């Protein structure tokens, strides 16, 4: 199962939206150049990187939600990967980095502007399985570049 990186996103000031950059280093403690304002719920080794599917974003946009890559807070936007296969324990090779999925990213009110009527719960894994962003632990640190391949390892 192969996909590709369509957007690498960071916000050096913290929060959202995260804006596209050509590349970023995925480190064990987070994405270099990205900041989280709420370290209780974001960041740290088990939530070092946030991933999202371009196809899910496009589907949400078709529903009328004003969401785009990076706007929901993901660091890496991936295309052509079967998002239904993503779950805790899955390993993804993203460019030269290896990331282990640790859990779904619970949506919060900071991203409500991306959703009709502020309905940020639209991407809750509990309410709408298959539509959430995912957190990952970086097992192999590396710079990730837009266009890098994404391979489902396990």
Taking the chain (154 residues) in consecutive chunks of 10 residues, what is each chunk's mean pLDDT? 94 92 96 79 84 98 97 97 97 98 94 94 95 98 98 92
Q: Which pLDDT does position 101 carry in this prediction?
A: 98
Sheet of 142-145, strand order: 30-31, 23-27, 142-145
How far apart CA 118 and CA 46 sit, in angstroms, is 28
* Residue 111: Cβ-neighbour burial (10 angstroms; 0-12, 13-18, 19+): buried
Angle among Cα 98, 128, 121 to the nearest 5 degrees reads 95
Residues 6+ apart with CB under 8 A from 114: 16, 65, 66, 67, 71, 72, 120
Pick the CATH number of 2-152 from 3.40.50.1820, 3.90.1150.10, 2.40.33.20, 3.40.630.30: 2.40.33.20
Q: Which pLDDT does position 38 carry in this prediction?
A: 64
Q: Which pLDDT does position 41 carry in this prediction?
A: 60
Domains of the chain by residue range: 2-152
Q: Which pLDDT does position 37 carry in this prediction?
A: 67
How far apart CA 4 and CA 9 sit, in angstroms, is 14
- CA 45 → CA 26, 60, 97, 144, distances in Å? 11, 29, 14, 17
């Amino acid at each position: 199962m192969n996909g590709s990186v369509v957007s690498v996103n960071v916000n050096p000031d913290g929060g959202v939206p995260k804006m596209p950059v050509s590349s970023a280093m995925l480190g064990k403690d987070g994405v270099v150049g990205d900041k989280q304002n709420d370290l209780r719920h974001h960041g740290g080794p088990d939530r070092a990187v946030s991933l999202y599917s371009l196809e899910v974003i496009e589907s949400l946009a078709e529903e009328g939600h004003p969401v785009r890559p990076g706007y929901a807070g993901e660091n890496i936007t991936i295309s052509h990967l079967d998002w239904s296969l993503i779950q805790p324990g899955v390993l993804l090779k993203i460019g030269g980095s290896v990331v282990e999925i640790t859990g779904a990213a619970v949506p919060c009110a900071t991203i409500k502007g991306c959703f009709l009527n502020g309905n940020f719960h639209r991407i809750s894994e509990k309410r709408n399985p298959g539509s959430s962003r995912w957190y990952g632990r970086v097992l192999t640190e590396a710079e990730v570049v837009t266009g890098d391949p994404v391979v489902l390892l396990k």
